[in-house]
Amino acid sequence: MRLDKIDLNLFRVLDCVYSERNLTRAAEALHLTQPAISNALARLRVVLDDPLFVRTPGGMVPTPMVENIMPTVREALQLLGKSVDELRRFDPARAQRNYRFSMNDLGEALLLPPLLGRLEKEAPQSTIGSFYVTREDAAAELASGQLDLVIDAPLIRSAQLCHLPLASQPYVCVMRSNHPLASGKLTLKRFLGATHIHVSSRRRGRGQVDLALEKLGHQRRTVLRVRHYLIAARIVEMSDHLWTVPLALANQLPLAIRALPFAVDDLEWHLYWHKSADGDPANRWLRQQCIEVCGTQLAQPRR
């Protein structure tokens, strides 16, 4: 017998008829008509291959099979009801959840420390897991429940996902503090005359800086392409290479910061979740934490 072929409401009817021993009273208790109760029992008889009840002058008498399964049925209904009730009354302080994110190491570096701090204070029994999932796989993992939230550029396309703008960050140029270009204004000529580091999760392809320069008819010389922001920061500290990064990250690094001598589109992050989790109180609470963390963590005081 497959549960995906059974309407679980039939067991609510079974439980009520078992308690009332009368179809009319069961219909009143469930706010249904008597024919609806009779129809539900008929369907369940087919599924369970048993008469379920025998009509007698004293009421509906359950068969031995019903007597045998009712303790388990009632326990299952109570557990289901408890789960739904707990979902409606979600309390982060008592919840024991493992919240699973997909974000790159830049998102982890900027968002996870304050986010973990919030969970330790407001949801001390919950944990966080973070790992990067490609945009091609993100929708499927959100749908299957393997992920709760994805933080990424607004490039994921799926009708099954909800999303909202989470943060927008301008780009700046960073270099070691005693770099020859650290004093004075960074001109386009100086920028193009230097060597550069580029961070991308892809093996090839241009970033927003390269696209902006291409519009101006220029091209920079990139000597190193890596996947992770934090290793790039270490290399910049020990070399003459320039690195173009979001301002929030630059503010956390012991590097000189200079404004770019040309316009570049901001880095945008969107927050993604599956439609099936849109009304989930736990997911809704987690989304609000992300929004508030971004509002404070990605402020732009230094430049």
Per the structure block, which two tokens stand in for 277? 């989790």
All residues at 6 or more sequence positions from 19 whose CB lies less than 8 Å from its CB, including other chains: 26
The per-residue pLDDT for range 122-167, each reduced to its tens digit, is: 999 999 999 889 888 998 999 888 999 999 988 888 888 999 999 8
Distance CA 268, CA 188 (A): 24
The per-residue pLDDT for range 60-81, each reduced to its tens digit, is: 999 999 999 999 888 888 877 6
| Percent of the chain clearing pLDDT 90 (strictly above) | 58
Cα angle 68, 55, 50; round to 5: 40
Residue 82 has pLDDT above 70, yes or no: no
Other C-beta atoms closer than 10 Å to the C-beta of 289 total 19
Adjacent-strand bridge partners of 197: 224, 243
Q: How confident is the model at residue 87 (pLDDT cuts 50, 70, 90)?
A: low
Residue 89 has pLDDT above 50, yes or no: yes
Ordered structural domains, the chain, with CATH: 3-88 (1.10.10.10), 98-168+268-297 (3.40.190.10), 171-265 (3.40.190.10)
- Residue 108 half-sphere exposure toward CB, CA atoms < 13 A: 14
